[in-house]
Structure 1
Amino acid sequence: MTVASILKQKSDRLISVKEADSLADVAQILTRENIGAVPVLDSGGDMVGIISERDIVRQIARDGAGVLMQPVGKIMTRNVICCGPDDSVAATMAMMTARRFRHLPVRSQNKIVGMISIGDLVKRRVEDAEREAEELREYIVRG
């Protein structure tokens, strides 16, 4: 299974923010959309960073609630690691686990085509394991 198979089950809508958006605005978007991170795109649609709930909470813990008026560009992660649609679910999951990422942009032909979460990957692996177990049961029963 590949990352593309996960993206097929998700909405084509890519939720993103701009560097000038405030952290308060981003927090509202994350809450409204029930997501944990968003890519930060420039006016041409190119990714310049990523911002997560965790980033915002850590900044508030360091500097207080006043940071919510700061622009995303001040705290976003700039050097973003991405995966591709053809990457395997297992390899992507291993990479996210090793690097302690919970959200990962998917890049194809230099454009962000989606976002996946560790939850998306775990769900797919569980579905695959359940399907394989059922196929084995059917095989054993039929002889």
Structure 2
Amino acid sequence: MKIADILATKGRTVHSVLPWLTVSDTVERLGRAGVGALLVCNENEAIVGIVSERDIVRALGRHGAALLAMPVSDVMTKWVETCDPDETVAHAMARMTTGRYRHLPVVAGGRLLGMVSIGDLVKNRVREMELETGVLRDAVIARY
């Protein structure tokens, strides 16, 4: 299965924030969108970073309440791994596990197509395993 198949199921909506918006604005957007990370994009919609709940919690430990007034660009992860829609789910899961990140923007030809989370990939894998189990169970029952 490919990442494009995941996007076809979950949709291509990507939630983002501008780099100069405050962490307070970012926290509000995370809550309103019900997501764990936002892409940080400039005015040309180019990815300049990603900010996750984890980034914010770690920055809170360093900066305290003053963090809320800081620009999100001060706490975002600047190096953003991306994937191609033709990448396999298994390969993407392996990269996310090794790199210890939970969100992966999907980019093709320099264009943002969507974003997948490790939860999206695990959910897909569980669904595949349930299907395989059902097929095997039916095959065994059919033999007897």
The 1-side partners of 2:8 and 2:45 are apart by 21
* Aligned twin of 1:94: 94
The 1-side partners of 2:70 and 2:9 are apart by 35
* Aligned twin of 1:60: 60
Q: CA RMSD in A?
A: 1.1
Flag structure 2 segments of 5+ consecutive residues without an equivalent. none
Indicate the SS of the match to 1:138. Answer: helix
- CA drift at 1:107: 0.9
Q: Does 1:110 align with 2:106?
A: no
One-letter identity of the residue aligned with 1:19: P
State the number of aligned residues: 143
For structure 1, which segment, 123-132 or 103-112, has the greater mean C-alpha deviation from structure 2 after superposition? 103-112
- CA drift at 1:102: 1.1
The 2-side partners of 1:104 and 1:69 are apart by 27
One-letter identity of the residue aligned with 1:24: S
- CA drift at 1:48: 0.9
Q: Does 1:9 align with 2:6?
A: no
Q: TM-score, normalised by structure 2?
A: 0.94
Identity %: 43
The 2-side partners of 1:3 and 1:106 are apart by 8
For structure 1, which segment, 104-113 or 128-137, has the greater mean C-alpha deviation from structure 2 after superposition? 104-113
Flag structure 1 segments of 5+ consecutive residues without an equivalent. none
For structure 1, which segment, 75-84 or 89-98, has the greater mean C-alpha deviation from structure 2 after superposition? 75-84
The 2-side partners of 1:12 and 1:115 are apart by 7
- Contact 2:14 2:114 survives alignment (8 Å): yes
Q: Does 1:140 align with 2:140?
A: yes
- CA drift at 1:62: 0.9
- CA drift at 1:33: 1.2
The 2-side partners of 1:2 and 1:12 are apart by 14
- CA drift at 1:141: 2.1
Indicate the SS of the match to 2:81. Answer: coil
The 1-side partners of 2:11 and 2:120 are apart by 13
The 2-side partners of 1:81 and 1:74 are apart by 19
The 1-side partners of 2:88 and 2:41 are apart by 26
The 1-side partners of 2:100 and 2:34 are apart by 20
Q: Does 1:77 align with 2:110?
A: no
For structure 1, which segment, 2-11 or 123-132, has the greater mean C-alpha deviation from structure 2 after superposition? 2-11
Deviations 1:29-82 (A, max 9, x none): 111111000111111111111111111111011110111111111121122111
Q: TM-score, normalised by structure 1?
A: 0.95
